[in-house]
Amino acid sequence: MQNNTVTVKNTPGGIDSPSIITYSTVFNVAVPYIDRHISEGRSNKTAIRTTEGDISYQELVHNVNRCGNFIRSLATARGDRVLMVVKDCSEFFYLFWGAIKVGLVPVPANTLLRSGDYQFMVEDSSAAVMVYSPEFATEVEPALAAAAHKPGCVLKATGEGSLQEIIAEHSDELEAAPASASDDCFWLYSSGSTGRPKAAVHRHRDMVETCVHYAVDTLGINESDVFFSAAKLFFAYGMGNAMIFPLWVGATAVLSDQRPSPDMTFDIIQRFKPTLYFGVPTLYAAQLQKLDEIPPTPLYEREASQAASDNTWPDLSSIRGCVSAGEALPADILRRWQEKTGMTILDGIGSTEALHIFISNRADDYSPGSSGRMVPSYQAKIVDDAGAAVATGEIGRLLIKGGSMAGYYWNNPEKTAETMLGEWVNTGDTYYQDESGYYVYCGRSDDMLKVGGIWCSPAEIESCLIAHPQVLEAAVVGRADDDQLIKPEAFIVLTTATDSEEALSQELLNHCRNTLARYKFPRWFNYVDDLPKTATGKIQRFRLRK
């Protein structure tokens, strides 16, 4: 078998007959994702689009090679880490793939963290190289100064004397370093929603598995697609959406380094006409609120070139598919999105450890309020506290098995033992499978409430509250009452301010009575400007409990 090749045999039959993937003995994943596009005739095709200009596949290949040659010139050793605090830009691609191609391990980091987190990552990874965007200098530079470990090379990604300038001096030809499909390839730090981030170590094969089984077999991506992900490149969901998936099929990725917001996303969609849009529930809710403020204009009355403005209905007509992950998508947000835009949002669940989505709704098979069904080749089981499988309809811990799972956490054997259970990964989520086979999210395992001796899902209560027109976001946690018994407590972000919180609380309580069992009613209502979240959009309920 030829070196650095991957063969995919498509077998009809969906979950029962997933595509079969075969890897060559020598397999560096940078070859099928980067090098092959030239031989397949995509030299002049646009690979990356940004507000600063377009990058062709030929430019991408040459700059990846230049970056790889530069990193190799630093006398780095195979397996050394390249820590990246880099915004969504073309340099992210060059650095990530250039490191992989020469046998180093790129480590993209959350760009929203503080100095103490970066210091921890520098020391934990023992990074040989660190590259950061100038925008993050205020947090990164103190971390570097305080860190006990000092990277051998520290560079800014852009600007004078930066990676952007230096790589231009290096050769645009580069042979991929030998590797195997099971070798360590890159790390992704978890969002750290309950403590210090953990580095999930992924192999060369892992991103191929997500592309074949989720992106192609489930989502149906193809070379003509244009991808826009509001979720950023530094974490698993955004990396798949905006880099790994488009490169797999030779499509085009649209990048924005701006903070996700309704105005930003609507502007990007109108300017670059993506066919696939990836968001998170919080953002979809904010977009709906924005659309509620705009008088609707039928698409047939609009000009395709019309630009977005504060009082103009955005042109979303290029989009053929919307995807959501990060948190469970409430059924009411899906319903309202369908009513407003005519499009369905395909919700799914993934994780840093699994790299991307492993349970998903499909365009032709979805159930509002559920995460959908298994992605081909992945397996799930829902177990009780003793590890025994529960019956259909019963709540338990969700375990997952599949070809993209991280093998371990770097330098963290205790967390590895807790999470990586042989072939299975403990997701930390609680689920049940309904009679139709759909998987329904109930909350994080440590967020579940036991009220009156009965397990209670915060997600169910939150979905009920969000269905009220005055509720934009909601989070539910457990709180002890005067008798030290746990009851639900709600934290709510409103669509508009209220004159009487007491009257609204009574209205919301009556609203819950129409849907929920009595023990699930929130006993306290708190009205806040925003909810604490991780960079991936997950609500940090542990902060609300404090």
- Rounded to whole angstroms, how far apart are CA atoms 515 and 369? 14
Q: Lowest-confidence range among 44-53, 109-118, 340-349?
A: 109-118
pLDDT for the residue numbered 311? 61
> How many residues appear in the chain?
546
Cα diameter, the chain = 72
- Enumerate domains of the chain plus CATH numbers: 56-204 (3.40.50.980), 244-443 (3.40.50.12780), 452-545 (3.30.300.30)
Crossing angle of helices 501-513/458-466, nearest 10°? 110
pLDDT for the residue numbered 460? 87
Token pair of 509 as six digits: 């309580």
User: Three-state secondary structure along 367-412?
Assistant: CCCCCEEECCCCEEEEECCCCCECCCCCCEEEEEECCCCCCEECCC
Query: Which is nearest to 246 in space by CA: 471, 57, 489, 484?
Result: 57
- For the cut 60, the answer to whether the pLDDT of residue 258 exceeds it is yes
Token pair of 372 as six digits: 């959908």
Across the range 397-402, mean pLDDT stands at 97
| Residue 307: pLDDT band with limits 50, 70, 90 | very low
Kindly state the DSSP code that residue 308 receives in the 8-state scheme: P
**Number of neighbours of residue 517 by Cβ within 10 angstroms:** 13
| Residue 295: pLDDT band with limits 50, 70, 90 | confident
Which residue matches tokens 């998170």?
280
**Number of neighbours of residue 418 by Cβ within 10 angstroms:** 12
**Beta carbons of 326 and 237 less than 8 angstroms apart:** yes
- For the cut 50, the answer to whether the pLDDT of residue 328 exceeds it is yes
- For the cut 90, the answer to whether the pLDDT of residue 346 exceeds it is yes
pLDDT for the residue numbered 2? 66
| Residue 124: pLDDT band with limits 50, 70, 90 | very high
**Beta carbons of 453 and 468 less than 8 angstroms apart:** no
pLDDT for the residue numbered 369? 94
Query: What are 185-237's pLDDT values in tens digits?
Result: 999 998 654 467 899 999 999 999 999 999 999 999 999 999 999 999 998 99
Which percentage of the chain shows pLDDT scores above 90?
77
Question: Who's near 353: CB < 8 A, 6+ residues apart?
Answer: 190, 200, 405, 406, 419, 420, 425, 427
Query: Which is nearest to 69 in space by CA: 177, 181, 187, 151?
Result: 177
- For the cut 90, the answer to whether the pLDDT of residue 113 exceeds it is no
